[in-house]
Amino acid sequence: MNYIQTYFTELFWLLNEMSPYLVLGLLIAGILHVFLPQEKLAKFLGNSNFSSVLNASLFGIPLPLCSCGVIPTGVSLHQNGGSKGATVSFMISTPQTGVDSILATYSLLGLPFAILRPFIAFVTGIFGGMVTNKFVQESKSAPAFIPASKTNKKQGKLKAMFQYAFVEFLQDIAKWLLIGLLIAALISMLVPDDFFGAYLSNPFISMGIVLLASVPLYVCATGSIPIAAVLMAKGLSPGAALVFLMAGPATNAATMTVIGKTLGKKTLIIYLATIMAGAVIFGFIVDAFLPVSWFSMIAEMGAGHAHGSHMLPTWLNYASTAILLGAMAYGYLKVRLYNYFQSNKQISNDMNAVKIKVKGMTCNHCKMNVEKNLSKLKGVNLAQVNLAQEEVTIEGEGLDLDKIRGKVEDIGYEYVSKV
């Protein structure tokens, strides 16, 4: 019984610490989504030069996209005219951080980590993009820029901001955020204090193990924070924790597959090498040259959570937690109800409406990307995605399945069949 109580105490403390910063980060994410759509970004990323790479990294850092969300966005940027170098820069810098994860990093790991994460994402993004420009040949005819569709123009910007922040984007990260919190609470309860200091004291070995575990697995930038905080409280070096924070969110099997398919194997090698080398190099710098006192607050987690909530009022932490959990529950129910009605919607057998099976759609960014690109095809009036069923309902006149299949595959997804 004590184990259960301890576990839920740790879980609630971690959530309570992060929730005010997550709520603020979600609000800023909604503002960025409404006022900085990806179609505008593509206009600044079209040339194979330093300026485009710099812009891509600068734009990517604050955007709240994890690696599953950055896949369709990055591919779409390339399809809309972004150069390969700028696309790689964007896809490296974006998932490693984001406005939500920067604030959440500050809540559990402190100011040094909150500064280091975006700085490293910025540097590695620029480096990867420049190397890509130098060694990967650009397509002879870059795709023309496609202006944004006029859907949702009538929707109020304030409503759109809250809809994206607390429903669409929150649903994208909610699963992995909760998984990260559950794992972190379990580690905090089961792993002895100073475990890594006693059994894995060599920082280079720690970094190597963490890197090998991080590359193929999926963990979002925000979900990685509580895990890193608890591991450091158990004795993992700050440098090794940084490797996990940078490499984990930016790499996984799905990302690697799509980049290799859409941008080429040489680009994929540059992408992975840049992230892995950047994480290890900066991890070494942190352990070798930065003052230990900068990271001492994390160690206090193992001694009763002594650092508090950065002096935030207790009521604000509780209110933020209630808002966050309420928004998660609301978004979950709304998505499930939508998927239920979509799955039971009857589709006629004529060519005015078809339903297709598409694999690889994992989040609301995937949903929006597929719907937007299919809606631009000639004859398509409406495209609606059901994520749970991995299906897309398409309505229009003179629908061409070959063109639909081609567009689905062009943006990085797998067309399976007509349903």
pLDDT digits (tens, 9 = 90+) for 66-90: 666 676 677 767 766 778 899 899 9
pLDDT, tens digit (0-9, with 9 covering 90-100), for 308-328: 445 578 899 899 999 999 999
88/38 same-domain check: yes
What's the pLDDT score for residue 131? 95
235/281 same-domain check: yes
Residue 354 host element (H or E):
strand 353-359
- Determine the average pLDDT of the residues in 243-248: 92
- Domain containing residue 353: 348-418
Closest CA to 316 of 22, 6, 2, 7: 22
Tokens of 197: 């200091």
Note the pTM of the prediction, 2 decimals: 0.76
Q: At what angle do helices 84-96 and 111-135 cross, to 10 degrees?
A: 160
- The span from the CA of 71 to the CA of 213, in Å, is 21
Closest CA to 118 of 39, 184, 59, 46: 59
Domain assignment of residue 337, yes or no: no
380/287 same-domain check: no
Domain assignment of residue 329, yes or no: no
Answer yes or no: is pLDDT of 126 > 90: yes
What percentage of the chain carries pLDDT values higher than 90?
A: 22
∠ at Cα 16 (10, 20), nearest 5°? 155
Q: Choose between 241 and 28: higher pLDDT.
A: 241
Closest CA to 370 of 169, 157, 149, 173: 149
Domain assignment of residue 141, yes or no: yes
Select from 292, 324, 356 the last residue of a domain.
324
Domain assignment of residue 355, yes or no: yes
Number of structural domains (the chain) is 2
What's the pLDDT score for residue 260? 81
Answer yes or no: is pLDDT of 140 > 70: no
Domain assignment of residue 343, yes or no: no
Q: Choose between 21 and 322: higher pLDDT.
A: 322
User: Which band of pLDDT confidence, cut at 50, 70 and 90, is reported for residue 154?
Assistant: very low
Q: Choose between 213 and 151: higher pLDDT.
A: 213
Answer yes or no: is pLDDT of 382 > 80: yes
- The span from the CA of 310 to the CA of 10, in Å, is 18
Weakest-pLDDT range from 71-80, 159-168, 202-211, 407-416 = 71-80
Domain assignment of residue 41, yes or no: yes
What's the pLDDT score for residue 45? 78
Highest mean pLDDT among 111-120, 165-174, 224-233, 327-336: 111-120
Select from 324, 359, 385 the last residue of a domain.
324
What's the pLDDT score for residue 284? 95
